[in-house]
Amino acid sequence: MSSVGYDDTTKILEIEFHTGLVYQYLGVPPKVYADLMHSGEIGKYFSEKVRPKFQTKQVVAR
C-alpha cells in the first residue's frame, strides 16, 4: 500500500497500492479502519479483514 485514507462520514476506506491502482472499500466501520492503521501487519490485516468483507470499487484516474 502506498497510501490509505478514510472518510468517517461516508465510511469509505480508500487505498492506493504500489501499482498506482486506487480502490475504495464501502461501508467500513471506523473501528476496522483504526485497527488496520494500528496493525503491526497491515497487509495481513487488510487481506483477512477488509478485502474479503467489503464491497469494492476501483477509482478511475481522469
pLDDT in tens, 1-48: 999 999 999 999 999 999 999 999 999 999 999 999 999 999 999 999
Q: Report whether pLDDT(53) > 90.
A: yes
Host H or E run for residue 24: strand 22-26
Q: How many domains does the chain have?
A: 1
Domain, as residue range, for 11: 3-59
Dihedral of the alpha carbons of 19, 55, 59, 11, in degrees to the nearest 10: -110
Residue closest to 28 by CA, chosen among 60, 2, 53: 53
